[in-house]
Chain A
Amino acid sequence: MRILVAMSGGVDSSVVAALLKQQGHEVIGATLQLYDHSGPAKPGACCAGRDIMDARMVAERIGFPHYVIDAENRFRESVIESFADSYARGETPVPCVACNQGVKFTDLLNMARDLGCEAMATGHYVRRVEGPEGVEMHRPVDRERDQSWFLFATTREQLEFLRFPLGEMPDKAHVRALAEELGLDVATKRDSQDICFVTNGSYAGLVEKMRPEIQGPGDIVDEEGRVLGRHEGIARYTVGQSRRLGDIHTGTGERQMVTAIDVPSRRIIVGPRQTLSSDESRRTVRLRDMNWLIDAPAEGVRCGVQLRAREGLRQALVRPLEGGQAEVRLEEPALPAPGQACVMYDGDRVLGGGFILADR
């Protein structure tokens, strides 16, 4: 079949393209240009200018057409600007979810359809399974590289059209060996990591540059408003974190954690970690922009939820609400960060998820 492969120029998507070509498919490679490369490129993140050339070289070597798609404006609006907006609201956004949701699985996917493709493949580590009631999303075989949390917002319609060949790979070494075998120059290229558009290592610096109104130091206070210390800028804090709180634990005698970020007053609100982790009132979380990969049961579904990119599962009951929202009742109290994703799992299967709202 005619299949479009989203190529970053890295080893993973290159292997996907080469494999599909080897299987006899008509492969079309496409690389999104997400930002202007005339500035200093960031090696190791997924979209530097050199990566476009790498993708083209792979396509030329394997023998399929490759195109560079200008997605700069869309990426700036739908990912970078909303990333900054979210921080300016005191949230902790997940830009990779926004990018997969918009630029990749909406725009590029539509383009694939317009070009008469029957599917679109990416180098993501997640499995697409044809279930008895339609297509399902599962964690990949290689748990080390599981990207399912970042892909929870993929709709069932999109999933129908998508292919993730690397979901079946046992490990990264296997993928690199395949790249070697296929004669790809990118076989030894380093993996991408972090947020691709943050070029100097400081996302807080970028956010402060884009939203100067939130820049500047402020107070760290307790829940009663008593000043415990000072901070360098609210963009450096996430609800639930204990780092960057200086020596305030020595004053309070207890280890503290961030419980809220008050943007207008530029205050970081903290509370004692021990007390919070057993605070019974912190068992309910509200989600917005839900994406259900099952038919949402009105009575709710018992499942495991993952509240951060790298964290274990917590048992919960998730119940759909009006307006694309949902309520999560956790078995144990937790302090999730607004803006982050809450993804629901049943074993390996992703059931859906939503974005954590600030109001409990």
Chain B
Amino acid sequence: MVQKTILQQSPVYLDANATEPLRPAAREAVLAGLEQTGNPASVHAAGRKARIMLEEARRQMAAAFGREADCCIFTSGGTEADTLALHGFGRMEGRTIFIGATEHDAIRKAAPDAALIPVDGQGVIDCTLLEEMLVTHIAGSGDKPGPLVCVMAANNETGVYAPLRDVAALCRRYGAFLHVDAVQAAGRMREQDEFSQALKDGSLARASLVLSAHKMGGPKGAGALLLPEDRPLSPLLPGGGQERGRRGGTPALALHRGMAVAFEESQKQDWAMLEALRDELESVMVQAGAIIMGHGVARLPNTVSAVLPGVTAQMQLMALDIEGYCVSAGSACSSGKVTRSHVLEAMGQGEGAGQAIRVSLPWNVRATDVRAFGEAYARMAQRFAERGLLRRLASSGGTHG
């Protein structure tokens, strides 16, 4: 065997939007759930006990988003929940589908023929264009059911919030069904953010919502689709009729309990502290030559999307990983290959779409690590500048999106 010759420090994890570190309370809940032998569908005592634990988690999740417990369908994660919604409301009900241009692949791949709702240069859904699309559609749709509009609450790459209240109002006005992928927003809610506001004022009462446990600090492998009302939905997996016939298969009791607890914990988080660290980091990165995406609009408190002009995302990821920092690019395929970001392309970034990295601070981030990362980033930019890769823009004020 080869001996490790260099003792390596453990890497600094700054990729929370890919997956948050597990919160200790969620871990406890998962372990307790794993101890439970019964299948929630069984009639005996062990089954009943498991059932109660599952339903408690369901009630908790549903209530947090103002729904009845029966509106909550547990799934294996965000992708399954999104796919289930598009399959059930879109394909099975014959609705035309409109999706935001910066949606996650969970939505894009489930609705490959959907029309794209454009975003502006900051990544915000263009409501004027959405309205035009809805008007045009309704004029030519005859008796078809209203269209399905899919807009993510906050973008996974840039953290930019969608104007959900305006989008919801348009959907109401034109009889469209609204589906909101809240995977990134749900575990990072602050009172003033657009998602929280839209929930609070009832804008999302008629919308379906998607959640993912591991983006809140829960375990991987659990998610939920929250329907606006208890209604049937054509399942992807009919199986044994679990989840009221809407999702077959034995529910992952332990993981769903972990999700409920992670969400609860996320609401106790001091997001303002995280946001202050994020803002400090952004100014360091801008000093080093970066351009921050969506800088001018409301974003998740933990997310930085930064273009370093002239340097491929791949190169930045490698250079930072070698220094011991885990960050990511727009999208990486399962092989690990870094591809161009469709999100930044939709924002009109052109070349920049291949030159952006995402830094997303986890719930347990340490200020010293963020500052050390800022220094490593600046050193990297300096080296690329010396090698003639980095293009310093004349107007690199950094506020341009």
A52 touches B335 (CB 8 A): yes
Q: Are B335 and A65 in contact (CB under 8 A)?
A: no
Chain B, residue nearest A4 (CB) = B318
Which of B24-32, B152-160, B365-373, B383-391 lines the interface with chain A?
Answer: B383-391
User: B339-375 interface mask toward A, CB cutoff 8 Å, 1 = contact, 0 = none?
Assistant: 1000000000000000000000000000000000000
The answer to whether the Cβ of B336 comes within 8 Å of any Cβ in the partner chain is yes
Known contacts: A67-B314, A114-B389. The answer to whether A28 contacts B322 by CB under 8 A is yes
What chain B residues lie within 8 Å of A24 (beta carbons)? 5-6
Contact indicator per residue, chain B 293-328, by CB within 8 Å of chain A (1) or not (0): 000000000000000000000110111011000000
Closest beta carbon of chain B to A283's beta carbon, Å: 47
Is the CB of B2 closer than 8 A to any CB of chain A? yes
Kindly identify which residue among A21, A53, A115 contacts B2, using a CB–CB cutoff of 8 Å.
A21
Bound Cα distance A49, B336 (Å)? 11
Q: Is B173 an interface residue (CB 8 A)?
A: no
A11 contacts chain B at the CB level, 8 A cutoff: no
B335 and A37 form a contact (CB under 8 A): yes
Most A-side CB within 10 Å, residue of B3, B4, B318, B338: B318
Measured in the bound complex, the distance between the Cα atoms of B338 and A111 in whole Å is 15
Is there contact, CB below 8 Å, between B335 and A67?
no
Chain A residue total in the interface (Cβ 8 A):
27
The DSSP consensus for interface residues of chain A is mixed
B336 touches A115 (CB 8 A): no
B314 lies within 8 A of A22 (CB): no
Complex alpha-carbon distance, A21 and B5, angstroms: 8
Q: Is A63 an interface residue (CB 8 A)?
A: yes
* Chain A, 206-251, CB within 8 A of any chain B CB: none
CB distance from B212 to the nearest CB of A (A): 25
* A-B interface contact total, Cβ < 8 Å: 58
How would residues 99 to 135 of chain A score, 1 for a CB under 8 Å from any chain B CB and 0 otherwise? Answer: 0000000000001011110000000000000000000
Bound together, the chains give a CA A69 to CA B338 distance in angstroms of 7
Q: Are B321 and A18 in contact (CB under 8 A)?
A: no
Nearest residue, chain B, Cβ from A33: B337
Say yes or no for A201: interface residue by CB 8 A criterion. Answer: no
Is the beta-carbon distance between B387 and A183 smaller than 8 angstroms? no
Q: Is A56 an interface residue (CB 8 A)?
A: yes
| Chain B window 1-23, contacts with chain A (Cβ cutoff 8 Å), 1 for yes, 0 for no | 11111100000000000000000
Which of B5, B6, B322 has a CB less than 8 Å from the CB of A115? B322
- Give Cα distance in the complex from A21 to B337, angstroms: 24
Are A68 and B387 touching (Cβ within 8 A)? no
Per-residue A-contact encoding for B148-183, CB less than 8 Å = 1, 0 else: 000000000000000000000000000000000000
Contact B337–A26 (Cβ < 8 Å): no
- Within the complex, what minimum Cβ distance (angstroms) separates B309 from chain A? 15
A296 within 8 A of B: no
Scoring A37, A62, A70, A111 by chain B CB atoms within 10 A of each residue's CB, the highest score goes to: A70
Q: Taking CB as reference atom, which chain B residue is nearest A116?
A: B383
* Contact, CB under 8 Å: B315 / A115: yes
Q: Kindly identify which residue among A52, A53, A63 contacts B4, using a CB–CB cutoff of 8 Å.
A: A63
- Is the Cβ of B2 less than 8 Å from the Cβ of A62? yes
Interface size for B (C-beta < 8 A) is: 22
Binary flags per residue of A53-86, CB closer than 8 Å to B gives 1, else 0 = 1001000001101111110000000000000000
Given the complex, which residues of B lie within 8 Å of A52, measured CB to CB?
335-336
> Shortest CB–CB separation between residue A74 and chain B, in angstroms?
12
Contact B335 A68 (CB under 8 A): yes
Residue of B nearest to A32 (CB): B337
A33 contacts B2, C-beta separation under 8 Å: no
B1, closest chain A residue (CB): A183
* A242-283 residues at the B interface, CB under 8 angstroms: none
| A182 lies within 8 A of chain B by Cβ | yes
Complex interface: chain A residues within 8 A of B338 (CB): 68, 70
Within the complex, the shortest CB–CB distance from B366 to chain A, in Å, comes to: 23
Residue ID in chain B nearest A63 by CB atoms: B4
B2 touches A111 (CB 8 A): no
The answer to whether A114 and B384 have CB atoms under 8 Å apart is yes
A1-60: which residues lie under 8 A (CB-CB) from chain B?
Answer: 18, 21-22, 24, 26, 28, 33, 37, 49, 52-53, 56
Q: Once bound together, how far apart are the Cα atoms of A33 and B338, in whole Å?
A: 11
How far is B321's CA from A67's CA once the two chains are assembled, in angstroms? 10
Q: Which residues of A contact B321 (CB under 8 A)?
A: 65, 67
Q: For the complex, give the distance between the alpha carbons of A114 and B321 in Å.
A: 14
Query: A121: shortest Cβ distance to chain B, in Å?
Result: 16
Whether A70 contacts B339 by the Cβ 8 Å rule is yes
Given the known interface contacts A52-B335, A52-B336, the answer about A70 and B2 at a Cβ–Cβ threshold of 8 Å is: no
Q: List 18 A-B contacts (CB under 8 A).
A: A21-B2, A21-B5, A26-B6, A28-B318, A28-B322, A52-B335, A52-B336, A53-B335, A65-B318, A65-B322, A67-B318, A68-B335, A68-B338, A69-B314, A70-B314, A70-B338, A114-B387, A115-B318
5 A-B pairs besides A28-B322, A56-B336 with CB distance below 8 A are: A49-B335, A67-B321, A68-B337, A111-B315, A182-B1
Q: Which residues of A are at the interface with B, using a C-beta cutoff of 8 A?
A: 18, 21-22, 24, 26, 28, 33, 37, 49, 52-53, 56, 62-63, 65-70, 111, 113-116, 182-183
Where the two chains meet, the residues of B that have a C-beta atom closer than 8 Å to any C-beta of A are: 1-6, 314-315, 317-319, 321-322, 335-339, 383-384, 387, 389
What are the 3 A-B residue pairs with the smallest beta carbon separation, nearest first? A68-B336, A68-B337, A70-B337
